[in-house]
Amino acid sequence: MTAARKLLLIGIDGLRVDDALRSPAPAARLAAFGRAGVVLPMTMEVPTISGPGWSSLLTGMRLAEHGVVDNHFQGHRLRRCRDLLSRAVDARPSCSTFAAADWPPLIDPDGPGPIIAPAPERERAGLHHVVLRDGESRGYDPMDAEIAAAARAHLRETGPDVSFVYLGEVDEAGHRHGGTAPEYTAAIVRVDALLGGILDVVEDRAETHGEDWLVAVTTDHGHVDAGGHGGGSALERRSFLALGRFGGRDSLPAGPVAPHEVRDLLLTDLGLLPA
């Protein structure tokens, strides 16, 4: 019997990936995950801002196509695009999906955007589950912890087919303290621990249920030394796509990869798009 294929994409906002993976690595779990799998280099488009970045990563479209140029989302064309979860459902209507984030524009139907399209009918049918927190008003440190806890519980209990989980504290720390500050490094350590807890649940789920999980981890931009982003420097544009598999097959996609290619690369591996 073929193992059921599952996909989980984890977004860590504002991560200076080279610093996170240096030795000794502040992001020890991410570093170990990368060593066991692959880390594909990726360069983000300018402006290096969360709205455009996550729109490209999640919809498979370039900035000129989705029309998101900042975090206000004015004039966006997201409804003409198909985000990762929606595109999976297009290919397999019975696909179960999950999204958890504490930056509201990603998933809040009442806010700007959202990048991931609302699916109220699928929610009522039990095929789509959303966990929304507001890190902007309540702080990303406690809200990341709530998002990670909710993700662990839902992944453990239901094993959705396609999931996206977002953690925002690292970006907040970069803005407040700068990209080389000890507070920024401490935020990486905390978020890395949350990532590790999610990976542990996926590994256990794969073993217990005989499932084939592809897990991907990425970021939307880095930070300059003084803190902040939006420009075209290497520090701001540098991203990555770390891929690892739990259960099932051994092969992994190869790179490098562009932000607008991430959606289809992941769904192709899942078998929902032709290779």
For residue range 127-153, list pLDDT tens digits in order. 999 999 999 999 999 999 999 999 999
- Position 27 pLDDT exceeds 80: yes
Please choose, from the candidates 197, 186, 111, the residue with its C-alpha nearest in 3D space to the C-alpha of residue 146: 197
* Contacting residues for 269 by C-beta, under 8 A, at least 6 apart: 5, 7, 214, 253
Q: What is the DSSP letter of 23?
A: S
Predicted local distance difference test score (pLDDT) of residue 1: 56
Predicted local distance difference test score (pLDDT) of residue 10: 99
Read off the pLDDT of residues 238-262 as tens digits, 9 standing for 90 and up. Answer: 999 999 999 988 889 888 899 999 9
* Contacting residues for 273 by C-beta, under 8 A, at least 6 apart: 87, 91, 264, 267
Please choose, from the candidates 103, 84, 184, 98, the residue with its C-alpha nearest in 3D space to the C-alpha of residue 144: 103
Read off the pLDDT of residues 158-200 as tens digits, 9 standing for 90 and up. Answer: 999 999 999 999 999 999 999 999 999 999 999 999 999 999 9
Read off the pLDDT of residues 95-111 as tens digits, 9 standing for 90 and up. Answer: 999 999 999 999 999 98
Percent of the chain with pLDDT over 70: 100
As a whole number, the mean pLDDT across the chain is: 96
Mean pLDDT over 108-128 rounds to 97
Predicted local distance difference test score (pLDDT) of residue 56: 98
pTM: 0.98
All structural domains of the chain: 5-269 (3.40.720.10)
